[in-house]
Amino acid sequence: MYVCICAAVTDSQLRSCIDGGARTVEEVGDACGAGTGCGGCVGHVDVFLAAANSPSDLAGLPLSA
């Protein structure tokens, strides 16, 4: 799924940038270009950053019962 249409950045590419050390929207933009065009994806980038930096307790639960 594309997160940033302007820079053609997918969710897996965005996760790779974050896994590679990007911790802010600006660092993500420097790493892959997401958020540097129209800015429409910045909210989505923030969600990915928050999930990576502060995972919820639900992240450790099994996917099925």
Residue-wise pLDDT tens for the chain (65 aa)? 999 999 999 999 999 999 999 999 999 999 999 999 999 999 999 999 998 888 677 667 776 65
Distances (CA, A) of 39 to 18, 33, 43, 52: 18, 11, 8, 20
Count of C-beta atoms within a 10 Å radius of residue 54: 8
Retrieve residue 16's tokens.
């790779």
